[in-house]
Structure 1
Amino acid sequence: MLGGWGLYLALIVPPLLLMLYAQWKVSSTFGKYSKVANDRNMTGLQVARWLLDQNNLQNVQVELTKGKLSDHYDPRVKILRLSPDVANKASVASMGIVAHEVGHAVQHAQAYAPMQIRSALAPVASVGSNFGFILIFIGILLAGGGAAFGLNLAWLGVALFGVAVLFTFVTLPVEFDASSRARSMLRSTGLASVSEASGASAVLSAAALTYVAALLAAVGQLLYWVLLLTGGGGGRR
């Protein structure tokens, strides 16, 4: 039986390796298709505005943001933000990423249920991901020192972190659906040729893998803390 650090490594290392592979896959796939110009010679900014208008989302604004592959749609202010490498390049990779973010804007406009759930969970999930570990750690130290409320504090940290894990879980259908909408938009509007749609799809598939890896890592961490506090991880006797 594994215990302590052995159990932790068994639960965390495989998802971590998958995450590293996913990040490499995203970087390499984006790098490949960012060098392939799209036939319409439309930059990411132009594609975004065109697809938004096609979906009657004239009220959604498009603007630049800093960072690499930091593209996202902000439902709070109805703004689609694009990174420089995506916004300013007329590439196949840009088309795929932009279509994905437009997919999120369409989800928002249609009140897509998983997106609404994720938005509702976001505030607590942020607290859980930032402070859950701290409460768990402090609680374990206090419990080890004989404080009766230490274990309760640790379980509170687990509960908060559990909300963060739930947020990561709900993120999967949101992201997968946005990619599905992106592929459909690129085909139905005729914006992308068959080969361009295939390249854009490859970029989206690589990005999807990062969300799967993130969920597995979060579940592994949660399971470890639960086992530790219940004695299954060799931490309590």
Structure 2
Amino acid sequence: MGFNSFMYMLIIPAFILTIWAQFRVKSTYKKWREVPVHSGITGYEAARHMLDTNGLQEVQIVPVPGMLSDHYNPVNRTVALSEDVYYGNSISSVSVACHEIGHAIQHKESYPMLSLRHRIFPVVNFASGVAPFLILGGFLFDYTNLIGFGILFFAVTVVFQLITLPVEFNASNRAREVMVSEGYITNEEERGVGKVLNAAALTYVAAALISLLELIRLVGIFNNRN
């Protein structure tokens, strides 16, 4: 069995995992969106309280359209919550809201992996746009060095994805601890919270895995051409 065939045997299952992870995060979110928390607190209220108790009164929370469009913007110190999360009082809504606040707290505490991700983001943004053209151009014009440069740029994006994993897991862990200790959820509801946050984390794991395998495949092709 050739190297390429072996790598495709790994990449194809990883690609299937990515699709399944996307399906799972949406289905899990929808399932627990139908289950209100006993405290009755909304995603916005939980997020606001979590920010204030951590000395982040200056961080604003704004509703945004779209499903699972939630994110924390470190530039303008704003937490954007999808309308369903912002206004909802379900296990899904509170889980997602508190996860995003976890990122705001990471920013305040200069969590090392988050700081590293912020520093390399401009490079990654450039590299992700350039890498495909360099690799494609190298193959089209049979220019091995161009492929090599493309692989280097692609490697930067893979490193970024790998750095993202501990950032996301840490934010979820922070969220789960606060949600229980502050009474946003009961101990019995923590299972549902875990389901929602773990499903979301799986999408990052799957994306990083398939990118890493593709990088290994490209490096193998580059070495064979040399």
1:91/1:70 Cα in 2 relative to 1: closer, same or farther (>3 Å)? same
Paired position in structure 2 for 1:109: 108
Aligned residues of 1:11 and 1:224 also touching (Cα < 8 A): no
Aligned partners of 2:205, 2:3: CA distance in 1, in Å? Answer: 26
Instruction: Give TM-score, length-normalised by structure 1.
Output: 0.91
Q: Does 1:179 align with 2:178?
A: no
Residue identity (%): 39
Amino acid at match of 1:177: N
Corresponding residue for residue 2 of structure 1: 2
| Counterpart secondary structure, 1:183 | helix
Q: How do 1:90-129 and structure 2 match up within 5 A?
A: 90-129=89-128
8 Å contact kept, 1:11–1:221: no
- 2:223 pairs with 1:230: yes
Structure 1, unmatched stretches of 5+, are: 144-149
Q: Residue 7 of structure 1: CA displacement?
A: 4.5
Work out the number of aligned pairs and report it.
Answer: 226
Check whether the contact 1:70–1:83 (CA below 8 A) recurs between aligned residues.
yes
Question: Is 1:217 aligned to 2:210, yes or no?
Answer: yes
- The alignment yields a C-alpha RMSD, in angstroms, of 1.4
Which runs of 5 or more structure 2 residues have no equivalent in the other structure? Answer: none
Q: Deviations over 1:7-45 (max 9, x none)?
A: 453232111111112112111111111000112222211
Alignment of 1:162-173 (within 5 A): 162-173=155-166
Q: Which amino acid aligns with 1:120?
A: R
Aligned residue in 1 for 2:129: 130
1:201 is aligned to 194
Give the letter aligned to residue 2 of structure 1: G
Does the alignment pair 1:158 with 2:151?
yes
Return the letter of the residue paired with 2:150. Answer: G
For residues 136-156 of structure 1, the C-alpha deviation after alignment (integer angstroms, 9 at most, x for no partner) is 11012222xxxxxx2222111
Q: Equivalent residue of 2:101, what SS?
A: helix
2: CA distance, partners of 1:126 / 1:111: 22
CA distance in 2, matches of 1:191, 1:67: 24
Contact 2:51–2:57 at 8 Å: present in 1 too? yes
